[in-house]
Amino acid sequence: MRVQGLVYRKVVHFPVNSIQKKVYNHLFMKRTLVFLTLLIVGFFGLMHAFPVFAADPLGVNYGAASGLSGQDLRVSIARVIKFILSFLGIIFVILTLYAGFMWMTSAGNEDRVGTAKKILWGAIIGLAIILFSYAITQFVITNLYEVSTSQSYTTP
């Protein structure tokens, strides 16, 4: 009785040559794919939202009792976007300081200087992306506000 990689009839089989390794890898990948598929389908199957038939209508003034503001949704979204972009700006400053510190303490080590340059260039490119995303969101939010508050409607 040989001991090899795959389990057939309670005998453990280990792959010996390259063909057996390919078969073993293929079966392993197939089993892994089936397991992950069942896991994902099962996970999303458990997340199904069931309707509630005895729900009371909340009414229009329900949010006032909870302390929520009656602020416009666009203003709330703009604040969230500005907060996220400010946080990304802080990360840029931290990366720039880290790259500068790494460059200054490299003591002529070319690997550390190269790593510091890569970090610095990545931070600069990230800052450019942050600035462009801020400009785009500012443009979109401003135009949405202007379109929604304008009273001049034309009829075709």
User: Is 116 a member of any domain?
Assistant: yes
End-to-end CA distance of the chain: 87
Shared domain for 22 and 80, answered yes or no, is no
Q: Does residue 61 carry a pLDDT above 80? A: no
Higher-confidence residue: 148 or 35?
Answer: 35
Summary count for the chain: helices (H), strands (E):
4, 2
Give the number of domains in the chain.
Answer: 2
User: Is 15 a member of any domain?
Assistant: yes
Concatenating the DSSP letter of every residue in 13-35 gives B---SHHHHHHHHHHHHHHHHHH
Q: How confident is the model at residue 149 (pLDDT cuts 50, 70, 90)?
A: confident
| Residue 94: closest CA among 71, 119, 112, 113 | 119
Predicted confidence (pLDDT) per residue in 34-48, tens digit: 888 888 887 777 776
Global confidence as pTM: 0.47
Write the secondary structure of 74-96 as one string of H (helix), E (strand) and C (coil). Answer: HHHHHHHHHHHHHHHHHHHHHHH
Shared domain for 87 and 37, answered yes or no, is no
Shared domain for 76 and 137, answered yes or no, is yes
Which residues form the domain of 37? 7-44
Listed in sequence order, the residues at least 6 apart from 145 whose beta carbon sits closer than 8 Å to its beta carbon are: 74
User: Is 137 a member of any domain?
Assistant: yes
Predicted confidence (pLDDT) per residue in 63-116, tens digit: 666 666 667 777 778 788 888 888 888 999 999 999 999 999 988 889 999 999
Assign 10 to helix, strand or coil: coil
- C-beta separation of 101 from 113 below 8 A: no
Q: Does residue 124 carry a pLDDT above 90? A: yes
For the chain, what percent of residues have pLDDT higher than 90?
Answer: 20
